[in-house]
Amino acid sequence: MAKFDIIAATGCPTGIAHTFMAKEALEKAAAERGLTIKVETHGQVGVENELTKSEIAGAKAVVVAADKDVQAERFAGKRMVSVGVSKALSVEAAGKLIDRALAAKGDDSVAAAADVEDEVEEKESIGHIIYKHLMNGVSHMLVFVVAGGVLTAVSFLWGITSFDSTASDYNSFAAMLKIIGGIAMNLMVPVLSAYIAESIGKRPALVPGFVAGMIAIQGLPVNAETGMIDAGGAGVGFGFLGGIVGGFLAGYVILLLEKVFSKLPKNLDGLKAIFLYPLFSTAIVGLVMLGISGPMAAINTAMMDFLKGLSASGAIVLGLAIGCMCAVDMGGPVNKAAYVTGTAMLTEALAAGVGTDTYNFGTNFMAAVSAACIVPPLITTFAVVVGKKYFSQEDHDAGIVNLILGCTHITEGAIPFMTKNIWPVMPIMMLGSSIASILTIMFNVHDPAPHGGFLVLPVVENGPLWVLAILIGAVVGGILFVAFKKYDFEKNQKAAPAAKPVEAPKAAAVEAPKAEAADFVKVENVFVAEDFASRDEALSFVSNQAVKAGIASDADAVMNAFLAREAEGTTGMMEGFAIPHAKSDAITEAAVIVVKDESGVTGWDTMDGAPVNVAIALLIPGAQAGTTHLKILSKVAEALMDEDFRGTVKGSTDAAEIAKTINARLV
């Protein structure tokens, strides 16, 4: 297996150019020093050239040049330097990083060798730490809820009381399904508690975490006759809130015990893991959980009573609360709080039995939660179909996929649409979800399954009305979303600068044989003697030339795409180069247009502050945004790290030579 002197990881949070420029610079710097190197890149297409454990172990030093998480903990103990990606964009800078890494001391800290300015790190907030641990528990719990809830719901297909051997509709297979489903549902709280604990205290925390979760669902057993604690007595459980408290308690008790036992000899590490940690943590956590069972049960009961009180205020109040909670962050902590509350109430409902007030309220609440979670993705589907012209091809494709996600109760598909325009898209989603929840409650819909979307329709009471409520919410939200996108589209059209009249190129493309079909740069699309007053004038020229060459159908749309990309972050590079790129449905074929201005275009925020002499403009159809676009952009970015490439393109006035040089690097 190959062994490398240096290993590196590069990555930038937006775009792909800097990721690959840093990679190229590091490779060249290592070659100059006679060192072997492997660079792992974290770009928009994911992790490429991934480092293996043996490669990490065998490397002399590590360079991390990234503005995103590249899992630097993998390199703990290695000689290492960690900086932002912008610190590795030239061969000289990359060389200094390699030298620093080789000179560093191995340390348990992954950033031991970095300068103080490179070590500035945003401290993780307490809120985010708590959320991270909680979500670890919720993510592990949900699969038990889904499996158990759906199996329980399916058992009802044979009859509402088909699990009861004394009932007329009894079915042994249905009874077995309900038993299996019930066992899975009963594991919900212990798993939640255990994996919150595991997130904090790692594997040793699983044991006290599971115990805390079991106590949360069973409560403190008391003998009914004596009123005293009795192992054979019955207790009042305190639900998923108790599981959350127990999980955090178990995790931090393990951290405390690790400090307490840290003075023990190293040869007792095995004893700590198999005996001391589980024994003491289980005893401590168990006693605390039993001790707080009374107050926790009271809190749990009060919360359920509050929700039932909202129901007494009417369907509008309760439905509005459910809808807003489910749609405000679409899969985030508020959404999860509403969903977990729904599943907890559904668990109580199924335990109470069909026909009881608890069953009716719990299943109606669950139906409202499910409706609110289903609506946001369907809003995007309606919008991209009805208002297709206002969405990019990428958004259109995502909206179509959201039809499947929405119908199966997966809200997260709507997140990309909301993040692009939080206002007013988030309120639109909240309104649509609230309408569906309110109507679901008013239509008296009952859903005994916690997940599955329309797949569980056979077991939903008043299922057709439930679908109607969801469709009404989706259509209302979809109409508002289209209206917003239409307004935004027309506003951008008006704001786009007037296109510069198309002029014959001054000393432009030299006639040459027609380029091969595979060539992205055609000779006739290379303009070597232009004079632009500003960046926008250059981009306008390119947009109009694209229409003239048959590459695009609408110059304004192309210009808007260029400006939108510049707003995300400058495409100005170094030493007089820029890589503007436009992704638009108005572009009919992937192509590259090159413009040169010897005097230099000012106002293009380049990395070294120099004016732009050469703009290599990429024009990509919307449908190819994640494929051809990334391929061309990464190839051009890597080519710009080559001094010979830069010299040829910048120094030549021969359009054919420039086209040939660039095409050779795009293979």
| Catalytic (active-site) positions | 12, 581
Tokens of 521: 């740069």
Position of tokens 């902590």?
A: 333
Asked if 535 and 597 touch (Cβ cutoff 8 Å), the reply is no
Position of tokens 């510049």?
A: 566
Would you report the helix, strand and coil content of the chain in percent, each value rounded to 5? 60, 10, 30
Q: Which residues contact 109 (CB under 8 A, 6 or more apart)?
A: 76
618 has which bridge partners? Answer: 581, 592
Torsion-angle region of 202 (φ positive above 0: left; ψ -120 to 50: alpha; else: beta):
left
Tokens of 137: 């528990």
For residue 491, which phi and psi values (nearest 5 degrees)? Answer: -65, -45
CA distance 199 to 129: 10
Q: Which residue in 209, 206, 193, 204 sits closest to 137, CA to CA? A: 193
- Across 504-623, where does the E strand assignment appear? 521-527, 577-578, 581-584, 591-601, 612-621
Asked if 215 and 242 touch (Cβ cutoff 8 Å), the reply is yes
Q: How far from chain centre, in Å, is Cα 461?
A: 35
C-alpha angle 168-171-173 in degrees, rounded to nearest 5: 170
Neighbours of 493 (CB within 10 A): 13
Relative to beta strand 612-621, strand 61-66 is unpaired
Buried b (16+ CB within 10 A) or exposed e, 36-71: ebbbbbbbbeeeeeebeeebbeebbbbbbbbbeebe
CA distance 455 to 457: 6
Cα dist from 14 to 184, 215, 463, 570, whole Å: 42, 47, 44, 11
How many residues make up the chain in this entry?
667
CA distance 199 to 260: 20
Residue 274: DSSP 8-state? I
Cα dist from 510 to 515, 648, 654, whole Å: 13, 16, 7
Dihedral Cα 148, 156, 445, 192, nearest 10 deg: -10
Provide the 3-class DSSP secondary structure of residue 113: coil
CA distance 559 to 642: 29
Provide the 3-class DSSP secondary structure of residue 330: coil
Buried b (16+ CB within 10 A) or exposed e, 598-637: eeebeebebbeebbbbbbbbbbbbbbbbeebbbbbbbbbb
CA distance 658 to 542: 17
47 has which bridge partners? Answer: 42
